[in-house]
Structure 1
Amino acid sequence: MLFPAFLQLIKPPDCSVYMKERDEENVLSLYPEEAQNTDKLSQKSIPAQVFLNYFFAINYHIQNSGTMAPGQLPILHEQRPELTDQDLEAIKKLLLNSWSTEYALRATAELGDEEYMRNALHWTFPQAYYAVYAGLQAFLYTRGLKTNNEGWVLREAGRLVVKNAYPRAIGFYASGHYDDFNVHRLPLAHYKPGLQIAGKELEAQSQIGQFLRTTRRMKAKAVRQAVQANLATAIRSSKTGDVLQKFGPQHWQQLTWRMGYTTVFDLMARLRISSTHREIARFVQAEIDFKLFHESLLQIVGYLNGIHECFVAQAMGLQKYEEYVQELPAYLQRSFVEARLQQQIKPLLGKEDYDLGQAA
Structure 2
Amino acid sequence: MARPADLELASVTKRYGGTVAVDSISLKIKAGTYCCLLGPSGCGKSSTLRMIAGHESVSDGDIVLGNQIVNDKPPAQRGSAMMFQSYALFPHLSVRDNVAFSLRMKGIDKPTRHKRADEMLALVDMTPYAERLPAQLSGGQQQRVALARALVTDPQILLLDEPLSALDPFLKIRVRAELKRFQRELGISFIHVTHSQEEAMALADLVVIMSHGRIEQAGAPRAIFETPASEFVARFIGGHNILPIFGKTVSVRADRVSLVPQDDAPGGRRAIVRSTEYQGSNVVVGLVAEDGTELVAIVPDKVFFARPVEVGDATAVTWDEADIHEFAA
Larger Rg over CA atoms? 2
TM-score, length-scaled by structure 1: 0.23
TM-score, length-scaled by structure 2: 0.24
Higher relative contact order (CA 8 A, sep 6+): 1
